[in-house]
A and B are shown apart, each in its own frame.
Chain A
């Protein structure tokens, strides 16, 4: 249960059916990595920002991150909402509604999202933003350290910040494209890649990696990379950023998402560009991934 158990909330939504993971997220708490605090925040920041822009919010206001589905949310006040991210069907009071678009929800309406056809994470933004108890200046749930608002479950109520509902709906906003069951991710090789054999590095571009079941907001394990390190390669702990690719001795690659640890003891061999980092938040276990990394 969350801190927001205020009995006389005026504007709030209530979770009727919770998906496997339902979190309050914003753009995170950057700048504290050096003291061991993960930046956290929305995993697919492009879709998150789009949802906020669609309802006329500043891009950083707290919204819901919905993992997979199904998810049903009842609104106890009228609201303007938009849903972005993974591709799934959306209904408001049983009427089919389009994704990546702003909609009016009336008091008492239930918003339902089905299990997505492709992708993993959707964002539901509400005009005015959600209220989540801030920690170090952010209302994002950090699943690694447990900082920020607790994960939401059935029956939880979340306050909606009061706002004027008059909204000019923007148009021609680009949604995250490239969500399917095969992801082409682009980025750059990193300094530690020179500690791996040339042969294994050059083969990677033509390999189809598989996202393993070991996937969370912390990161995704990609199997099939078969990178071969120099014998006796030892790396002291060093800093990690979202989108970094790490090569543990198992030969798999670990791709770090929003709740990554701030330091790690395996070599960092590359990094994704910002667009691919956002897209990676939509990779499901079993999806195929091709890495196209350039030299710096």
Chain B
């Protein structure tokens, strides 16, 4: 683990392995919430902004994170199933590009157990890791102006569900009616870092 400061109140923590990233994030966000205005999880990094009036150093953060390995045991990840109808606009072209049949694409996408790596891009948008390598394909060369809410998509090594309508360049393979974003809930984002996810095929809603 390496900690770099950018100015007096922002830090980037680089993790060598992804094992402790999520546990460290949860500790910084929930264990000592008053010290930080923002704690942002990336794929293998955490960006930290100290709260106003808080003076903190890289070495102080390093010391806090040293303890995380010991407490990372009893975690609180959820298991979530995402019922999905596989009829996305890019399903056929995705299969062609991957050299697979549509049936194989669906089976590979459903077979994999995924983990929520981090959230970004839009409110409640979770980057899921665990995609089968034969489904790793680049983003669309030109993003769509509007992707509908609930679209199930893949891009590069990630899968995701669009929580709300937005522009987007991922390959749309299906859709779900599961609500991923509820701003009135105590935790607005259904998918939290570390949660385990499976896509389950539904024929029709």
Contact = CB atoms under 8 A, between A and B. Distances in A.
Interface of A: 30-37, 39, 135-136, 145, 147, 187-191, 236-241, 244, 261-263, 268, 270-271, 273, 296
A34 B39 contact: yes
Give the 8 A-B residue pairs with the shortest CB-CB distance, closest first: A239-B40, A239-B47, A263-B120, A238-B42, A236-B43, A191-B4, A35-B189, A271-B6
Contact of A262 (B7, B29, B37, B120): B120
A240 B47 contact: yes
18 contacts: A31-B37, A32-B123, A33-B40, A34-B38, A34-B41, A37-B123, A39-B38, A145-B123, A145-B166, A188-B6, A236-B42, A238-B12, A238-B47, A241-B38, A262-B120, A262-B121, A296-B5, A296-B6
Contacts of B25: 34
A136 B183 CA distance: 7
Given A34-B39, A35-B188, A261 B121 contact: yes
Contacts of B40: 33-34, 238-241, 262-263
Nearest to B187: A35
B84 interface: no
Contact of A188 (B7, B29, B193): B7
Interface in B27-60: 29, 37-47, 49
A273 B41 CA distance: 22
Given A136-B188, A145-B123, A241-B49, A33 B38 contact: yes
B47 A296 contact: no
B127 interface: yes
B5 A35 contact: no
Given A31-B38, A35-B124, A237-B42, A190 B4 contact: yes
Contacts of A238: 12, 40, 42-43, 45, 47
A270 B43 CA distance: 19
Contacts of A30: 37-38
Contacts of B6: 188-191, 244, 268, 270-271, 296
B16 to A, nearest CB: 13
Interface residues of B, number: 36
Contact of A271 (B10, B119, B166): B10
B38 A239 contact: yes
A36 B12 contact: no
Q: Which of A32, A33, A238 has the most CB of B within 10 A?
A: A238
A31 B52 CA distance: 12
B123 A239 contact: no
B125 interface: yes
Interface of B: 4-7, 10, 12, 14, 25, 29, 37-47, 49, 118-125, 127, 164, 166, 183, 188-189, 193
Most chain A CB within a 10 A radius of its CB, from B6, B118, B164:
B6
A262 B189 CA distance: 15
A107 to B, nearest CB: 36
Nearest to A186: B7
Contacts of B121: 36, 261-263
Contacts of A136: 183, 188
Given A241-B49, A263-B120, 16 more contacts: A34-B40, A35-B119, A35-B188, A36-B121, A36-B124, A37-B123, A187-B7, A190-B6, A191-B12, A236-B45, A238-B47, A239-B45, A261-B121, A263-B121, A270-B6, A296-B5
A262 B7 CA distance: 19
Contact of A147 (B4, B49, B119, B123): B123
Contacts of A145: 122-123, 164, 166
Contacts of B189: 35-36
Nearest to A245: B6
Contacts of B38: 30-31, 33-34, 39, 239, 241
Nearest to A194: B4
A263 B125 CA distance: 11
Contacts of B14: 191
